[in-house]
Amino acid sequence: MASENRPLIELQGVSKRFAGVQALTDVSLSVPAGQVVCLLGDNGAGKSTLIKILSGFHGPSEGKILLDGVETQFTDPRDARARGIATVHQDIGTIPLMSVGRNFFLGAEPKKGVWPFQRLDIEKANRVSVEQIRRFGITRVRDGNQLVGSLSGGERQVLAIGRAMYFGARVLILDEPTSALGVKEAATVLRFIQAARAEGVGIVFITHNAHHATLVGDLFTVLIQGRVAASFKRGEKSSTELLSLMAGGEQMEDIAGELAVLAPTVTTTPLGETQ
């Protein structure tokens, strides 16, 4: 297994400006091997911009990217992928009307035969895909010919993440992988995240769900308006504290105050009467 604290990828003092918009300011983040780094923040806080920088989609306006401790630049997302940085977006990346095996190897299909008579080795695609997802506890899938549309949301996420790992991801960026899922389905994905961590993969887990974050996270970074508002380790804050931080504590107190003023008006109006 990879050593626990070796950073695989790091951002140092990264800022990103778009025309007229300062999306990120002086953000530093380190993703060690075998650790889950939770990236949290409200809408517009800069999470997407940050993962686009980590995955080679944008270059930073200022600051550095270090890969295995060496300063680097990604030419594009393909370059980042080739160097082991895989991004799995919620609900994209699998095709419902295609089989599990075909989805798993999409764009990298195993071939058999000798060129020019090569054809898709569907037996291999089916066998490997089923092995890979069963390895992480999805035992309901037994046949690689099964259509992805018949899998649950959590199983589809696991398929997409398992595929990234099979193709050599060392850093997995998971963009809101549990946000559209029910409790049981989210648990499937969270278990998978733990299994990936145990294999020494560095994980960036983007979520709005403070509870999911505290269940699997080792390190936490909260972004507010493009800046790191807090950065801490597992056990240093409860999920309630985390939630309040994400909402920008004071704002939540203001909302609670407003609701307290409104509440008596609402409760004293008898049902069926209008004012």
Ligand X SMILES: Nc1ncnc2c1ncn2[C@@H]1O[C@H](COP(=O)(O)OP(=O)(O)OP(=O)(O)O)[C@@H](O)[C@H]1O
| Interacting residues with ligand X (CB under 6 A) | 18, 21, 23, 41, 43-49
Q: Cα separation of 175 and 89, whole Å?
A: 5
Give one DSSP letter per residue of 126-174, joined into a string. Answer: HHHHHHHHHHTT-TT---TTSBGGGS-HHHHHHHHHHHHHHTT-SEEEE
Nearer to ligand X, 22 or 146 (CB): 22
Nearer to ligand X, 56 or 144 (CB): 56
- Retrieve residue 32's tokens: 């060690």
Q: Cα separation of 67 and 87, whole Å?
A: 16
Nearer to ligand X, 186 or 224 (CB): 224
Closest distance to ligand X from the beta carbon of 214 (Å): 19
Contact 36, 219 (CB under 8 A): yes
208: closest CA among 189, 222, 187?
222
Closest distance to ligand X from the beta carbon of 44 (Å): 4
Nearer to ligand X, 33 or 45 (CB): 45
Nearer to ligand X, 44 or 93 (CB): 44
Closest distance to ligand X from the beta carbon of 18 (Å): 3
Closest distance to ligand X from the beta carbon of 223 (Å): 7
For the chain, how big is the Rg over CA atoms in Å?
Answer: 22
Position 225: which residue type? Q
Nearer to ligand X, 129 or 207 (CB): 207
Expressed in percent and rounded to 5, the helix, strand and coil fractions of the chain are 35, 25, 35
Tell me the backbone φ, ψ of residue 131, rounded to 5 degrees: -55, -45
Closest distance to ligand X from the beta carbon of 139 (Å): 34
Closest distance to ligand X from the beta carbon of 244 (Å): 18
Closest distance to ligand X from the beta carbon of 60 (Å): 13
Nearer to ligand X, 89 or 191 (CB): 89
Exposure string for 66-89, b = 16+ CB within 10 A, e = fewer: ebeeeeeebeebeebbebbbbbbb
- Please enumerate in sequence order all residues whose Cβ is within 8 A of that of 184, keeping only pairs 6 or more positions apart, or say none: 154
Closest distance to ligand X from the beta carbon of 209 (Å): 12
The residue count for the chain: 275
Nearer to ligand X, 61 or 239 (CB): 61
